[in-house]
Structure 1
Amino acid sequence: MCDPLLSLSTAIKATALIQRWYRCKRAQLEIRRRYSLTIFESIEYADEQEQTQLSNFFTFMLEHCVHRGEGKEKNQSTTEIYEKIDVPDSYRGPRLSFPLNIAHAKALLNALKNQQLLHPRYVLQLLRETRRLLKEKPNITHVSVSYFKEITICGDLHGNLDDLLLVFHKNGLPSENNPYVFNGDFVDRGKNSMEILIILFVFLLIYPNDFHLNRGNHEDFILNMKYGFTKEVLKKYKVHGMTILYHLREIFSWLPLATVVNNKVLIVHGGISDTTDLDLLKLLERNKVSWCLTDAKHDICWCQTPAASTKPESSELCSSQVLDILWSDPKKQHGCTLNKRRGGGCCFGPDTTDQLLKKHNLKMLIRSHEFKPDGYDLAHDGKVITIFSASNYYEEGSNRGAYIRMNPDLVPHFIQYQVCVSTDKRKNWERVKTIEQSALQTLQKRIFIHKQKLMDTFAKYDSGRISVSDWAAVMESVLQLKLPWRTLKSRLVKTDPDGNVDYMSCFYYMDTARPMHQPTLVETLCKYSRDLQMIFNIMDEDQSGLISPDEFRKTWKIFSSYLDIHSHDEAIDKLVQSIDYNKDGYIDFNEFLEAFHVVHKLENKAA
């Protein structure tokens, strides 16, 4: 007969073992999730760093490579342009009449939710009214809240329309009794940036005193060309896309820079520096300040001062003030240093926060700008709050979004959410696996882009196998991503029985052991694919997205001469000949510049 005490003891031990196994698996999954998100974030910041060397060039391209017919439209008012655009009877999308009311907003929300496109006539009319209103706004908007009128603060949306719709569903539509602040980065990365802008501008016009927009670092025409918004607008509005973009560029320059709640809570997109001066920010003519990551030594910035309202001041001083509040990030350590991870703004410590709050008699700083897995984060003893409203930012299931509700007590209440398409239907390990695979593919592409430099550095060692420490040191010195390379080792390379790394296996995922046609050129195309796309978008006069062999050579010549990239004409000719053009002698340039598409095409040609 079985001893009941023995059975109970066995059951307890088995339960303990199961719990230990479960906790171990949960911990392993969490490690994989965290390093996957670290990969995404590190590569995102590295991309922003590289933008610094290209901004001057693309500014020049925009100013000197004007599309046919666009020059005339630039000299016309928005009214003159949209009045010439007819809305056909066949148009079944939303219709706007001004002044707007909440009925228009609800109809528009429903139409955009169902993927209907607002006609360009209404878009341009909306932009005209939005520009008129924004010009009347101060650089720093002051708002007040009461127990009957709490305020909602939202962070980055980055083109994720579903997140905006979910916020409105959970929190209610904007109204005089339900005010909102949207803290920049409305556009880029996501596929519905234009729809988000339309919705935000409509509510701004309906509730100008209770709906507030701050400018983010992505409300900029240079970043828009690189991170997707320009491409989105040109795709959705083929005929009037460039005109819409031109007027949006001006609207972005008029967006307010900050919002202050009850004179105690400062809301800016990025952060601050040890030189941030809110009194100076109030006086800047914000639409004339060149703040993008460019060499602004030839720009003139105008600051309004009591002594001389039109006196030219230092461009560097004015630009750095705006640059800092749009690009900066908090750090744990004291002090204020250059933000090398992003290439612009500052990393500010708790002492810098205390200094600014004390100087302006503020209680806290709310900012956005940074991905947060939970949608929000607290730093500097709770005095700095990051709010990030784009859920599933890197991959479906990668993070929650959040927004803040705040009453007169000025205690932030965080509401989290996550748009679920298939996330809630998958198990946790399946979600983590998807995020991890996507992150590793992004990292492997980055490794391939720097293949030649990695190979040259690895070649300094005697054999094809090196220690894990040496391999990790080389990866970090070349890629400079500050990643946990030892943790990632098993996902990226093969090791021998002695634990040494076969560094050539870094590139096996691309099947580069096979002979490849013009590998250096391919790596260059992968590295600068977004930037070549930007050049072509500027030069593509008919916005067809198609390119001929001669246009490709011209695009490459302009770009390579600027970056001083040396490639022989023969190499370019071989590349051009390897491309499959359509019967009319053109290819889809955007598809061509997908890095893996390029590599596999060339591998197949060489095989």
Structure 2
Amino acid sequence: MASADIANSVLAQAEEIKLQANESFNANKFSQAIDLYTQAIELNGKNAVYWANRAFAHIKLEEYGSAVQDASKAIEVDPKYVKGYYRRGVAYLAMGKLKEALKDFQQVVKVNPNNPDAVKKLKECERAVMKLKFEEAIAVHDVERRSVADSIDFHTIEVEPQYSGARIEGEVVTLDFVKKMMDDFKNQKCLHKRYAYQIVLQTREMLHVLPSLVDITVSDNNHFTVCGDVHGQFYDLLNIFELNGLPSDENPYLFNGDFVDRGSFSLEVILTLFAFKCMSPTAIYLARGNHESKSMNKIYGFEGEVKSKLSETFVEIFAEVFCCLPLAHVINGKVFVVHGGLFSVDGVKLSDIRAIDRFCEPPEEGLMCELLWSDPQPYPGRGPSKRGVGLSFGVDVTKRFLQENNLDLVVRSHEVKDEGYEIEHDGKLITVFSAPNYCDQMGNKGAFIRFQAPDMKPNIVTFSAVPHPDVKPMAYANNFLRLFS
């Protein structure tokens, strides 16, 4: 066969694989689509479409760092390929990098000035950047900032006679109150702001005195449940409690971050978890996720939802409480539980984590950032983060960390998994994710892990999504981001 025929055959094969990748993408099988686009790229790396399509699949999996890399490659291959700039702009936007996104959307309009959709999105981006600049200009430095929570006295807030929802009598949050509140939430009724203030402020007091790394003891023959991301999926949270029982001292839970954002019942989720914490501090433990932060809440819906259902003041108070959340937990000295993952350096001890000053918005590097953002990778060593924040770490990193700290297992969350969980790194690391059919489109199962003392072997329970009222995910998200959803 002539070399030209061979070349054409390879190009045709790449195009056929791209079509298969498109089918996987349209079926929401984004990881499979990435694998297929990769095969097409290996056969023909000079086709900008393959790079941009793979970038889009990375966006769907929230792998925004990888999306930026692929979209940049598409632009390098074909500087006039509009979708390269568009996809990179969307990825920057999702990372909160509005100024970088603006440059890409300006380029989209420059290449394609008669596209009304592109012009509309550019104007929205310009508005968002102007707003950001204004907020930066009037921002008060943390050192000067007075606590909003300290200025609130919930006792002085009157409850109207016609209010028929759940009530806290006095200072104590009871199980009866929490059950009534959850039932009201299930029926899409609101909690009076007096009781919302009481729950959130009491939770803040409890969390504030905890160390950044919390030790949990489970006595012999008792059990302990770890849940992953819930992401505002309140009705799936209720289903977890149906399957595994309500939190109590005899049935304790750890919720491992990302309680809010994306799902449009985030307020109901966070008030339920906080109320159980108030009812009994040892019935429920809460860890910070990367979405318990101002920058994420501003983009992905929690801020908009809180403003809509409660008030702007609550946005500030939740931000303060999120800064009090512990960063990691150790169960019975053996199981290390963290939202994201491990570190860019070896030799990190549990005492180093315990010593982190966590009372701040998450920084963009360092131990706290890595605890919230990192992900495991299937090969040894360390690599750049597919998210653009944190890093990827291999089996050798996991095993060294466990060995140096006399631990048996890492449990983390942070990533959607088809079965609700994944066991990696020779069984030394488990990802658990508790938001089934994530964002109403991923089709994944949810999972939680039950540990029984003293052996502390993980027993993984999976479950499917349950129906919820017709409020779409991201309903309260940043207007600009919704344009690209």
Verify: 1:389 aligned to 2:434, yes or no: yes
Counterpart of 1:364 in structure 2 is 409
Deviates more, 1:58-67 or 1:251-260: 58-67
Cα pair distance change 1:48/1:359, threshold 3 Å? farther
Verify: 1:350 aligned to 2:409, yes or no: no
Distance 1:342 1:193 in 2: 23
- Which of 93, 113, 121 is matched with 2:165 structurally? 93
Counterpart of 1:139 in structure 2 is 212
- Which of 385, 402, 420 is matched with 2:466 structurally? 420
Distance 1:352 1:593 in 2: 36
Q: Deviations over 1:536-580 (max 9, x none)?
A: xxxxxxxxxxxxxxxxxxxxxxxxxxxxxxxxxxxxxxxxxxxxx
- Contact 1:391 1:419 (8 Å CA) reproduced: yes
Counterpart of 2:63 in structure 1 is 45
CA RMSD after TM alignment: 3.3
Q: CA deviation at 1:172?
A: 0.3
Verify: 1:248 aligned to 2:248, yes or no: no
Q: Look up the equivalent residue of 1:53 and give its one-letter code.
A: K
Q: CA deviation at 1:337?
A: 2.1
Verify: 1:410 aligned to 2:456, yes or no: yes
- Which of 320, 328, 331 is matched with 2:377 structurally? 331
Which runs of structure 2 are paired with 1:189-338 in the superposition (5 Å)?
A: 189-237=262-310, 241-275=311-345, 276-288=348-360, 290-293=361-364, 319-338=365-384
Cα pair distance change 1:203/1:55, threshold 3 Å? farther
Distance 1:55 1:134 in 2: 35
Distance 2:299 2:344 in 1: 30
Q: CA deviation at 1:94?
A: 1.5
- Which of 107, 110, 124 is matched with 2:180 structurally? 107
Q: Deviations over 1:240-282 (max 9, x none)?
A: x111011111100000000101101000000002424422111
Counterpart of 1:156 in structure 2 is 229
Distance 1:327 1:48 in 2: 16
Q: CA deviation at 1:37?
A: 7.5
Cα pair distance change 1:49/1:412, threshold 3 Å? farther
- Contact 1:156 1:184 (8 Å CA) reproduced: yes
Cα pair distance change 1:146/1:72, threshold 3 Å? closer
**Secondary structure in structure 2 of the residue aligned to 1:333:** coil
Distance 1:342 1:77 in 2: 36
Q: Look up the equivalent residue of 2:380 and give its one-letter code.
A: H
- Contact 1:213 1:255 (8 Å CA) reproduced: yes
Cα pair distance change 1:347/1:279, threshold 3 Å? same
- Contact 2:148 2:316 (8 Å CA) reproduced: no
Cα pair distance change 1:321/1:61, threshold 3 Å? farther
**Secondary structure in structure 1 of the residue aligned to 2:448:** strand
Which runs of structure 2 are paired with 1:445-524 in the superposition (5 Å)?
A: none
- Contact 1:182 1:212 (8 Å CA) reproduced: yes
Q: CA deviation at 1:62?
A: 4.2
Distance 2:57 2:138 in 1: 34
Q: Look up the equivalent residue of 2:232 and give its one-letter code.
A: G
Q: Look up the equivalent residue of 2:375 and give its one-letter code.
A: D
Same amino acid, percent of matched pairs = 35
Count of aligned pairs: 374
Cα pair distance change 1:234/1:40, threshold 3 Å? farther
Q: CA deviation at 1:61?
A: 4.8
Counterpart of 2:114 in structure 1 is none
Verify: 1:128 aligned to 2:123, yes or no: no
Counterpart of 1:17 in structure 2 is none
Distance 1:184 1:119 in 2: 25
**Secondary structure in structure 2 of the residue aligned to 1:266:** strand
Verify: 1:166 aligned to 2:239, yes or no: yes
Cα pair distance change 1:207/1:219, threshold 3 Å? same
Cα pair distance change 1:36/1:362, threshold 3 Å? closer
Counterpart of 1:183 in structure 2 is 256
Distance 1:594 1:218 in 2: 17
Structure with higher Rg: it is 1
Q: Deviations over 1:369-398 (max 9, x none)?
A: 001011000110111100000011043561
**Secondary structure in structure 1 of the residue aligned to 2:63:** helix
**Secondary structure in structure 1 of the residue aligned to 2:330:** strand
Verify: 1:374 aligned to 2:419, yes or no: yes
- Contact 1:181 1:213 (8 Å CA) reproduced: yes
- Contact 2:236 2:435 (8 Å CA) reproduced: yes
Distance 1:213 1:48 in 2: 29
Cα pair distance change 1:385/1:136, threshold 3 Å? same
Q: CA deviation at 1:358?
A: 0.7
In the alignment, structure 2 segments of 5+ residues that lack a partner are: 1-22, 34-55, 65-89, 101-128
Q: CA deviation at 1:215?
A: 0.3
- Contact 2:96 2:299 (8 Å CA) reproduced: no
Q: Look up the equivalent residue of 1:342 and give its one-letter code.
A: R
**Secondary structure in structure 2 of the residue aligned to 1:190:** coil
Distance 2:414 2:212 in 1: 19
- Contact 1:186 1:197 (8 Å CA) reproduced: yes
Cα pair distance change 1:279/1:400, threshold 3 Å? same
Q: Look up the equivalent residue of 1:325 and give its one-letter code.
A: L
Q: CA deviation at 1:361?
A: 0.5
Distance 1:99 1:32 in 2: 49
TM-score with structure 2 setting the length: 0.70
**Secondary structure in structure 2 of the residue aligned to 1:152:** strand
Q: Deviations over 1:489-534 (max 9, x none)?
A: xxxxxxxxxxxxxxxxxxxxxxxxxxxxxxxxxxxxxxxxx9xx85
**Secondary structure in structure 1 of the residue aligned to 2:431:** strand
- Contact 1:49 1:343 (8 Å CA) reproduced: no
Q: Look up the equivalent residue of 2:296 and give its one-letter code.
A: L
**Secondary structure in structure 2 of the residue aligned to 1:184:** coil
Verify: 1:34 aligned to 2:80, yes or no: no
Q: CA deviation at 1:148?
A: 3.4
- Contact 1:324 1:346 (8 Å CA) reproduced: yes
Q: Look up the equivalent residue of 2:369 and give its one-letter code.
A: L
Distance 2:350 2:484 in 1: 47
- Contact 1:95 1:122 (8 Å CA) reproduced: yes
TM-score with structure 1 setting the length: 0.57
